[in-house]
Amino acid sequence: MGSTSGWPNSYVRGLHAGVSTPIDILDRLTRWATGRRLDEVQRIVDGYENEVYRVRTTGERDVLIRIKRFGGDLDESLREARAIEQARSVGMPAPELLLVDTVVIDGTAFPVMVQRAVPGRALVEVYDGLGQHQRHRVLVQIGRMIADLTGIAVDGDWTARTASEVAKRRAERDLVITAGFSDHEFDELMAALDRYPDRFPCPDPVLCHGDLSPKHIFVDDELRVTGVIDFGDTHAGSPVDDLAVLRVRGPALSLDSLLSGYRRTDIAGFRQRLDLHTLLIALGSLAIGVDENDAGCVRRVSLLIRKILAALHDDGC
């Protein structure tokens, strides 16, 4: 798997190039959150919402300063913080929160979150070096964590959210066609998504991470999952949502191993439901890839969509 090919893409690099937080503000935030002065700082260019700095302080684990420079408000940060605490309550190794507030930079107030850095290395960095049994061991843990997260019931209207997402996918027709799909294939994909909410309703939504990927999952040298980060897209959703997102973000990961940990796969129509939800996520990712001229993303996601379309044909969907 290695590092994500071509990431950050030119769009994300350009987004981050336009901002920079002065070192004195970073030091003040560090002292506010930890009581210690900033010793070393490293900027992390990644993502669409946050300007991120990894800060080292004397005698403590590193902290991450995440400033919402590119959209979002304090309510969103507080919602993310709530989701992190809920995830920690069921054993998911989400980050320890040290500060959620606002910071003024050049006269503008931005939401800021300071959290303890999780131990270990990102799965995307180590996966290629693992043997088959090692990969299975890690993925079973991840599947189990996703299942545990689905035990947290939250308020939300899944039907309305899904209808909105399907409408967005329909509006992205030209981008999907540009990626190499025919008009007939696009119509087939949309017909499947139109049937999805009625076939597999979700009257009782659960807490979803929303952006689970090999970049956001950390493991240590003993192959224990030691961290899950970036809850900015958390929402009330389907129990298969995070499985679907991880399937799109990490197509090289063994779905069978993930499901061995997830366990709750004996429900009638489970794989069809997972395929349809994955399709909903994948089409959105494909449109973003085309829009941002991310050829690697377009190639990977197109292959996954065609695989799912073939499976849906086989199932008579």
pLDDT digits (tens, 9 = 90+) for 65-97: 999 998 889 999 999 999 999 999 999 999 999
- Give yes or no for residue 296 having a pLDDT over 70: yes
Residue 159's pLDDT is what? 97
Query: For position 58, what pLDDT does the model report?
Result: 82
Q: Is residue 2 part of a domain?
A: no
61 lies in the same domain as 155: no
174 & 245 share domain: yes
Torsion of the alpha carbons at 69, 96, 248 and 289, rounded to the nearest 10: 10
Where do we find the tokens 């190639």? 299
> Are residue 55 and residue 170 in the same domain, yes or no?
no
CATH of the domain at 92: 3.30.200.20
Identify whether the C-beta of residue 269 lies closer than 8 Å to the C-beta of residue 245. no
Residues 70 and 191 in one domain: no
* Count of the separate structural domains present in the chain: 2
Tell me how far apart the alpha carbons of residues 55 and 57 are, in angstroms, rounded to a whole number.
7
CB 196 within 8 A of CB 162: yes
- Asked if pLDDT for residue 3 goes beyond 50, the answer is no
- How much is the pLDDT for 10? 79
Please count the helices (runs of H) and the strands (runs of E) in the chain.
12, 10
Prediction pTM value: 0.92
| Residue 203: inside a domain | yes
Could you report the per-residue pLDDT of 162-176, keeping only the tens digit for each? Answer: 999 999 999 999 999
The answer to the question of residue 3 being in a domain is no
Domain membership of residue 1 (yes or no) is: no
**295 within a domain of the structure (yes/no):** yes
Residues 6+ away with beta carbon under 8 Å from 33: 63, 98, 99, 114
Average of per-residue pLDDT values in the chain? 94
Q: Which of 101, 116, 131 is the last residue of a domain?
A: 116
pLDDT of residue 90: 98
Q: Are residues 152 and 270 in the same domain?
A: yes
The average pLDDT across 91-110 equals: 97
Do 52 and 127 have their domain in common? no
Residue 175 located in a structural domain: yes
159 & 244 share domain: yes
* Percent of the chain's residues with pLDDT above 90: 86
Lowest mean pLDDT of 44-53, 89-98, 99-108, name the range. 44-53
> Which residue among 81, 116, 151 closes a domain?
116
> Is residue 67 in some structural domain?
yes
Of 201, 102, 217, 118, the residue nearest 160 (C-alpha): 201
| pLDDT tier for residue 7 given thresholds of 50, 70 and 90 | low
Q: What is the pLDDT of residues 277-294, one digit of tens each?
A: 999 999 999 999 999 999
Q: Residue 308's domain is classified under what CATH number?
A: 3.90.1200.10
Domain span including residue 72: 10-116
230 and 279 housed in the same domain = yes
Rounded distance between C-alpha atoms, residue 289 and residue 179, angstroms: 9
Banded model confidence at residue 47, pLDDT cuts 50, 70, 90? confident
Long-range contacts of 286-291 (CB under 8 A, 24+ apart): 286/175, 286/176, 286/179, 287/169, 287/172, 287/175, 287/176, 289/179, 290/175, 290/176, 290/178, 290/179, 291/175
Looking at 88, 116, 144, the residue that finishes a domain is 116
166 and 267 both lie in a single domain: yes
The Cβ-side half-sphere exposure at 202, using a 13 Å CA radius, reads 27
Provide Rg for the chain, Cα atoms: 20
pLDDT classification of 6: cutoffs 50, 70, 90: low
Question: Do residues 104 and 147 both lie within one domain?
Answer: no
> Is residue 218's pLDDT more than 80?
yes
- Classify residue 4: in a domain, yes or no: no
Q: What distances in angstroms separate CA 199 from CA 12, 159, 186, 195, one per listed residue?
A: 37, 12, 20, 6
Asked if residue 164 and residue 95 are part of one domain, the reply reads no
* Residue 230, amino acid: D
- Looking at the structure, do residues 167 and 249 belong to the same domain, yes or no? yes
